[in-house]
Amino acid sequence: MFLVKRDNSNKNFIIKGFITSILLSAFIYLSHFNIEYLLLNTVLGLLAIYFLVTIPRKSLFITGFSTGIFWFYWIGISLQYYELTYLIPVLLIVIGIGYGLLFLLLGLINNIIYRVIAIFAFTFITPFGFNWMKFELLFIDSYFNTSKESFALILAAILIISQLKRLKILALIPLFIAFEMPHGKIIDNPNLDIYMPQLNLSQELKWKKENRANIIDKNLNIIENAISLNKDLVVLPETSIPTVLNNQRELFKYLKELSLDINIFTGALYLENNQIYNATYLFSKGEVQIAKKVVLVPFGEEIPLPKFFVNLINNTFYGGAQDYAKATNPTDFTINETKIRNAICYEATTDKIFENLGDTKYMIAISNNAWFTPSIEPTLQKLLMKYYAKKYNVTIYHVVNGSKNYIIRP
């Protein structure tokens, strides 16, 4: 009774695996093209999980391979900036095989109860610290809650539908419990008039030394414009000032002077004890505070492998560059008596950055998506931020280079 159905047709198992991957990925692409209907996402999400639970074991590798590429093909776009374009096809195959093998584990035992438990366990897995594939995310713009408890209830409903011939109606019970009534978002704004400029600086130009002075001037013009508009706070994206800012004495001094008229929140590199940090600088009332990044991007800012492999990869592909250093705990800034949690790009999509929030209700996240555009990466990042904003009841102000800024409310 509890065996997953066999399928002896090679053609059928490939088709079923591929269709399942399309269903698992549809919500991202629909959101990317601004097609966001709760009913459509609800139905597609349920179908995706139903197929994942019931397809033959040998279809799972196809599903994982295709889903990995559908979700993360954009990672390869960044390789061009390291002059590693030739590795893009290799990277795509590695991503596909990696997720294909992970999905194969869902069918390690040919038993549907095992399959359901394994799918739920998958929601806790973060290969190499990379946590962007979340099955709960399928329901972020649907009629269901995105908590793990709700996802477990959805899996229970699928199990009932697939196993009970006459009592399938019982599946409505867990689905009803997982149901989340749509409601209008409560507008709870901080006591700040925030200026969120839209920047679209090409990654190819950003780190060339000959462009640095011009880029810095543009940032200063934005700050001065925000002052002229009587804003309380101006937010600039991740590494908006493309240098080790605390080494630039004159610029550092001038930003302190400007902060007498406006709070300045900007991304830049920070040097301390011969270690480089990806950081946020808050210039306020002539003083400066530094928030160092807590969660680094796997294989982008750090190599999550033993030191021998770290050195080998950095020497082979990154010209001997070292991993960024990282802070231990998140940083909260207080601006005009409002507490704001700092987040830099990837870490805004991790549980770590939301630890010990206390009474902090707002987050300012800064990103540089020029590494990955044009692609679905900004869309997937936004969907993940929706997930975490809802999970932790935090309003997120996201200022980005290379894609659109936005505000996400829980």
Give a yes or no: residue 1 inside a domain.
no
Residues 157 and 119 in one domain: yes
- Between β-strands 332-335 and 338-344, what pairing exists: parallel, antiparallel or unpaired? antiparallel
Residues 142 and 53 in one domain: yes
Residue 262 is predicted with a pLDDT of 98
From 151, 178, 205, the end of a domain falls on 178
The structural domain count of the chain equals 2
Residues 135 and 207 in one domain: no
Cα–Cα distance measured from residue 282 to residue 256, given in angstroms and rounded to the nearest whole number: 10
Percentage helix, strand, coil for the chain under 3-state DSSP, each rounded to 5: 50, 15, 30
From 178, 203, 233, the end of a domain falls on 178
Residues 58 and 136 in one domain: yes
Residue 312 is predicted with a pLDDT of 52
Residues 168 and 208 in one domain: no
Cα–Cα distance measured from residue 26 to residue 138, given in angstroms and rounded to the nearest whole number: 9
Residue 141 is predicted with a pLDDT of 95
Half-sphere exposure of 298 (CA within 13 A, CB side): 10
Residue 313 is predicted with a pLDDT of 53
> Residue 375: which CATH number?
3.60.110.10
Residues 207 and 116 in one domain: no
User: Could you tell me which residues are beta bridge partners of residue 263?
Assistant: 233
Strands of the sheet containing 395-401, edge to edge, are 332-335, 338-344, 362-368, 395-401, 406-408
Q: By residue range, what is the domain housing residue 326? A: 194-408
Residue 3 is predicted with a pLDDT of 57
Residues 220 and 143 in one domain: no
Cα–Cα distance measured from residue 124 to residue 99, given in angstroms and rounded to the nearest whole number: 15
Give a yes or no: residue 2 inside a domain.
no
Cα–Cα distance measured from residue 339 to residue 333, given in angstroms and rounded to the nearest whole number: 6
Give a yes or no: residue 24 inside a domain.
yes
Residue 305 is predicted with a pLDDT of 60
Q: What is the pLDDT of residues 343-352, one digit of tens each?
A: 999 999 999 9
Residues 261 and 375 in one domain: yes
Residues 131 and 206 in one domain: no
Residues 236 and 300 in one domain: yes
What string of H, E and C letters represents the secondary structure of 251-313?
HHHHHHHHCCCCEEEEEEEEEECCEEEEEEEEEECCEEEEEECCCCCECCCECCCCHHHHHHH
Give a yes or no: residue 183 inside a domain.
no
Residue 124 is predicted with a pLDDT of 94
From 150, 178, 206, the end of a domain falls on 178
| pTM for the model | 0.93
Residues 239 and 338 in one domain: yes
Amino acid at 32: H
Residues of the chain with pLDDT under 70: 1-10, 184-186, 304-322
CB atoms within 10 A of CB 126: 15
Residues 63 and 132 in one domain: yes
CB atoms within 10 A of CB 298: 17
Give a yes or no: residue 187 inside a domain.
no
Give a yes or no: residue 378 inside a domain.
yes
Q: What is the pLDDT of residues 9-62, one digit of tens each?
A: 567 899 999 999 999 999 999 999 999 899 999 999 999 999 999 999 999 999
Catalogue the active-site residues.
Answer: 238, 293, 345
Q: What b-and-e string marks burial along 21-50, b requiring 16 or more CB atoms within 10 Å of the CB?
A: bbbbbbbbebbbeeeeeeeebbebbbbbbb
Residues near 96 by beta carbon (within 8 Å), at least 6 away in sequence: 64, 65, 66, 68, 69
Give a yes or no: residue 345 inside a domain.
yes
Residue 131's nearest CA partner among 380, 362, 327 is: 380
Cα–Cα distance measured from residue 140 to residue 127, given in angstroms and rounded to the nearest whole number: 22
Give a yes or no: residue 271 inside a domain.
yes
